[in-house]
């Protein structure tokens, strides 16, 4: 087995996690549905070429889509990317993020679909909380 190949795969897994989690956080905080490489660069400390490489791979893998509407290249999470990013974000911050009673966590579908009839949003009249 080629140790260089293993290192490249580990490197990509690391940057996949970082990029997806940052984009998920930005989307959730309403800081951007479409994010430029420059915006990501300001939050991820890596050379521009490295970030560009991993963004391209994430587009090829279907996690990100390039926006054609922006004057500069911008990227957004695909539906598949949102689900995967939500899992990774929730896993990374598990224990630090606990939803209060009647609140959804960051990985709930209603966070992306605006579903106000989500079961987590419906208050149980028999509940004493």
Query: What domain count does the chain have?
Result: 2
- What pLDDT score does 94 carry? 53
Helix spans in the chain (H): 3-28, 37-43, 48-60, 79-92, 110-113
> What are the pLDDT digits (tens) for 33-60?
899 999 999 999 899 999 999 999 999 9
Same domain, 57 and 107: no
Q: Cβ distance 38 to 72 under 8 Å?
A: yes
Q: Indicate whether this model's pTM tops 0.85.
A: no
| pLDDT, tens digit, 9 for 90 and up, residues 23-36 | 988 888 888 889 99
Using alpha carbons only, give the angle 113, 42, 31 rounded to the nearest 5 degrees: 25
User: If we measure between CA atoms, which residue out of 104, 101, 61 comes closest to residue 85?
Assistant: 61
Return the minimum-mean-pLDDT range out of 54-58, 62-66, 93-97.
Answer: 93-97
Q: Are residues 117 and 58 in the same domain?
A: no
44 and 15 together in one domain? yes
Residues 65 and 19 occupy one common structural domain: yes
The Cβ of residue 2 has, within 10 Å, a number of other Cβ atoms equal to 7
Largest CA distance in the chain: 60
What average pLDDT does the structure give for the chain?
77
Which range marks the domain in which residue 129 is found?
100-129
Residues 93 and 113 in one domain: no
């Amino acid at each position: 087995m080629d140790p260089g190949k293993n290192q490249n795969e580990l490197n990509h897994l690391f940057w996949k996690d970082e990029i997806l989690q940052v984009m998920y956080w930005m989307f959730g905080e309403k800081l951007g549905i479409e994010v430029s490489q420059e915006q990501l660069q300001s939050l991820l400390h890596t050379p521009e070429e490295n970030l560009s490489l991993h963004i391209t791979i994430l587009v090829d893998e279907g996690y990100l889509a390039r926006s054609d509407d922006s004057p500069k290249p911008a990227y957004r999470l695909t539906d598949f990317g949102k689900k995967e990013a939500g899992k990774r974000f929730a896993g990374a911050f598990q224990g630090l993020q606990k939803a209060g009673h009647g609140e959804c966590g960051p990985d709930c579908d209603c966070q992306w679909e605006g579903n106000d009839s989500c079961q987590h949003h419906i208050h149980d009249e028999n509940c004493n909380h």
